[in-house]
Amino acid sequence: MTSSIPNTPLAADDTSLWIAPPLPWYRRLTGDLLGYVLLAPAVTLLAALTIYPLLYSIYVSFFRYTGGVMKGFIGLGNFQRLIGDGQYWNSLRVVAEFTLVSVSLEFAFGLGLALFLSQKLVLRGLWRSLVIVPMMLTPVVVGVIWRLMLNPGIGIINYVLQLLGLPAVEWLSKGNWAFVSIVIVDVWNWTPFMFLILLAGLESLPVEPFEAARIDGAKPVRIFLDHTLPLLAPTILVALLIRTMDCLRIFDQVFILTGGGPGNSTEVVSLYLYKTAFKFFDQGYAAAGIIILMVLINIVSMLYVRVLTRQEE
């Protein structure tokens, strides 16, 4: 039996399309619920690892909480203690100086490497891979490796200095040299991160402004100042923001290299709060210090974001 519907192709000017009927409400609801169900494990894990500890820390900061025992509500008492705590403010000063020096050096070296390795070089891919190797190591491993290298007796750094006729240095046991040591280690570990972000930014820049500048006879330095830096500014600000936030909460490397010593010369705020909470068992006071640190980091981040927004406008 043949069909009564003619099997003829659509006319060329026939623009009618078949439109599927809308799904029933219960089918749409099922689809929405499926999305929430799939997201639920990730959201639950995020809340358990970040949101709950943050809220609990804020709660604990209003109590006298020592030795794992809640001993009473004291309101803003912990925060008032922080105002007069010279050691806490010294740790903030140390981490601020460390952040300023480390981020500045990482940006300078990272930008230099990005500019150099963005050129057409032999085995360019290999050199790029070698540059990012330090970033692949965890901070704990980096701290252990550099602690051995900076050892005054068996470390390779002093051995090389003595081969060059220079005196050995007590890298980790003298205040100024200990601070220099943690800066060197951080710069070595995280300059590759700055390099990767800046390299990606450089390779995404439009080529037309640079070609026009070369045609006009502009020198490389002038091209860099007038075109590269302004166009790369948003990427630079993002890189600086990420590294600044990381440096302000540094803990691993300082804990392994110097433990905050000698004295308090390298005691960053995260290490001071760690000692307060787990060595002196004053968890409420440490929680208050964490809240202050979090507020300061957010203020710094907001300043970066404000500058970035103005730059984009």
pLDDT at 255: 94
Tokens of 161: 């200095």
CATH number, domain 78-312, options 1.10.3720.10, 3.40.250.10, 3.40.190.10, 1.10.150.120: 1.10.3720.10
- 139 - beta bridge partners? none
Higher pLDDT, 127 or 22: 127
The domain limits of the chain are 78-312
Read off the pLDDT of residues 48-103 as tens digits, 9 standing for 90 and up. 888 888 898 899 999 998 887 888 899 899 999 998 899 999 999 999 999 999 99
CA distances in angstroms from 157 to 142, 147, 175, 293, 294, listed in the order given: 15, 11, 18, 35, 37
d(CA 176, CA 179): 5
Read off the pLDDT of residues 226-276 as tens digits, 9 standing for 90 and up. 888 888 998 999 999 999 999 999 999 999 999 998 888 999 999 999 999
Contact by Cβ (8 Å): 131, 117: yes
pLDDT at 245: 92
Q: Residue 4 pLDDT > 60, yes or no?
A: no
Read off the pLDDT of residues 15-63 as tens digits, 9 standing for 90 and up. 455 565 665 655 665 666 777 878 888 888 888 888 888 898 899 999 9
Read off the pLDDT of residues 165-195 as tens digits, 9 standing for 90 and up. 998 899 998 878 999 999 999 999 999 999 9
Read off the pLDDT of residues 205-222 as tens digits, 9 standing for 90 and up. 888 888 888 888 888 888
Burial profile 158-182: b = 16 or more Cβ within 10 angstroms, e = fewer: beeeeeeeeeebebbeeeebbbebb
Q: Residue 3 pLDDT > 50, yes or no?
A: no
Tokens of 150: 């900076």
Q: Residue 115 pLDDT > 70, yes or no?
A: yes
The Cα angle at residue 132 between residues 129 and 137, in degrees rounded to 5: 125
